[in-house]
Amino acid sequence: MVTKPPEHEKISTVATKTNAELSLPLQIQLAILELEKIAGKSDSPHVVLVVELWDILYKHNTIKAWHSLLVAYYAKKIDEFYKSGLNTDDIFLAGLLHDIGQVKTPVTILDKAGKLSISEYLRVKTHVQDGKDMLKEKGLNNYTIEEAIGGHHENWDGSGYPNKYKEEQTSYVGRLFKIADQFEAMHNLAGYTSRKYQKEPFSLEETLLYIKTNMGTHFDPGFTSALAEFENWYINTFESNHKA
């Protein structure tokens, strides 16, 4: 059991958590350790910049930063089961920044309880382009991160945004993050759903049922097998631990 967040000079927000934040869910604790491991084995400017940008998101909206950390952790694991052959550390780093454009979204909108107005919803949707613009501003040229930002709101049937891409018009990375983002948004351990909508997150069973039911509409059905393996891993890692 992790008793304190790891310390690393590249991870200023993680290394300075208050005592009140040490009782984080196991999922977040393990995701922090994964981030520490990846950052600790590389001094490349690319990795340093990714963590610095995630730090900016943390300072803008802590809950959104935790959400991004968990999406990174889940996407890496789903990809391992899918066996895409991509560098899984790159997948994780892309997850940290898939919502980075939200640092330009007003906190009053991100934290608003209940339903957004049409104008507020349209403003939230600009976080995709805002994220791409931030990468250019920072000189961060990375395919995996760009595709995670650009593709995680596209749907398999073409009903998503920003481009209404259909099926494999969205890259593998975008389709992967569509699933990981949806999973975390519904089975929400970062606290965003419960705080924003003042209700409990969806159960693991409800979350997985939603994703499975929408394979072929919102989600790439090619992930069916990988999702089943992810489900088994998640239950064995977290659900059985919780019940024990």
Residue 62, token pair as written in the block: 């802590």
Length of the chain: 244
Asked whether residue 52 is domain-assigned, the answer is yes
Q: Does residue 72 belong to any structural domain of this protein?
A: yes
Residue 154 maps to a domain: yes
pTM for this predicted structure: 0.89
Amino acid type, 225: S
Q: Is residue 10 part of a domain?
A: no
- Candidates 157, 203, 155; CA nearest to 179 is 155
- Structural domain that includes position 183: 25-227
CA quadruple 158, 122, 95, 193: dihedral sign: negative
d(CA 170, CA 48): 28
86 within domain boundaries: yes
Query: What's residue 192's pLDDT?
Result: 55
pLDDT value of residue 196: 55
**pLDDT for res 12:** 45
CATH of the domain at 102: 1.10.3210.10
Question: For residue 114, what pLDDT is reported?
Answer: 80
- Assigned domain for 233 exists: no
The whole-number pLDDT of residue 189 equals: 78
Tracing tokens 């790159």 back to the chain, one arrives at: 90
Q: Alpha helix (H) ranges present in the chain?
A: 12-15, 26-40, 45-60, 62-82, 88-96, 107-110, 118-125, 127-138, 143-151, 172-186, 192-197, 204-213, 224-234, 240-243
Radius of gyration of the chain (CA): 17
Residues of the chain with pLDDT under 50: 1-10, 12-20, 243-244
pLDDT value of position 113: 80
The backbone torsions φ and ψ at residue 215, rounded to the nearest 5 degrees and listed phi first, read -65, 130
Per-residue confidence (pLDDT) for residue 201, from 0 to 100: 84
Structurally, the chain folds into a number of domains equal to: 1
Q: Does residue 243 fall inside a structural domain?
A: no
What's the pLDDT at 24? 85
pLDDT at residue 170, rounded to an integer:
98
Q: Tell me what pLDDT residue 215 has.
A: 98
What are the residues facing 215 on neighbouring strands?
219
Residue 157 lies in a domain: yes
CA distance 179 to 182: 5
